[in-house]
Amino acid sequence: MREEHLAEGETIVLQLRTHPKKIVKPILLLLVLVVILIAIWVLPLPVDPIVLWFATAILVVLGLVASAGPFLRWRTTRYIITNQRVALRTGILTQTGRDIPLYRINNVTFEKQLSDRIFGCGTLVISDGTDQPGMVLDDVPDVEQVQRTLQDLVRQGKLLSDD
């Protein structure tokens, strides 16, 4: 989020991207495809050169499709916590966003599956007491610290509004 998108007096507390674990599988698949590609060109196979070029084209397209989408989604997904709101921004061609003002938040929970604990991330669920489902932030790095920071901001906001 850029400074010009902030309200007067609003400051960014945390700006996060989803954990890089989101792109581990696509990278591994890409590596496997590269190994296969190298193997079909290096190994002495009794195959027509046109078949080799066709197989190469298929492997390149598979690699691009399998890795470009997840990489771009990872690269374009941001979680921004300011002193006034929580914002989710995502989108490759069409950017979408959702904001929840801190004063509306009534519950912040996290979930860490086994793979999340290994990678040091988790899912953060922010509820705001409206009819809309909570905001779900997947693969948040150091999710427990982010939850504590967010709870502190919400608590500070409620203390200020009580004064």
Cβ neighbours for 103, distance < 8 A, ≥ 6 positions apart:
154, 157, 158, 161
Question: What are the tens digits of pLDDT across the range 126-149?
Answer: 998 777 788 999 999 999 999 999
Joined tokens for residue 38: 């190298």
Split at pLDDT 50, 70, 90, the class of 22 is: confident
More confident residue, 132 or 103: 103
- How high is the pLDDT of residue 14? 93
Tell me the C-alpha to C-alpha distance, in Å, between residue 135 and each of 27, 88, 100, 158.
Answer: 28, 8, 8, 20
Question: What are the tens digits of pLDDT across the range 33-73?
Answer: 999 899 888 888 788 889 889 989 999 999 998 899 899 99
One-letter amino acid identity for 1? M
Joined tokens for residue 143: 């999710």
State residue 89 phi and psi, 5-degree precision: -125, 130
R_g over Cα of the chain: 22
Tokens 């989408």 identify what position? 69
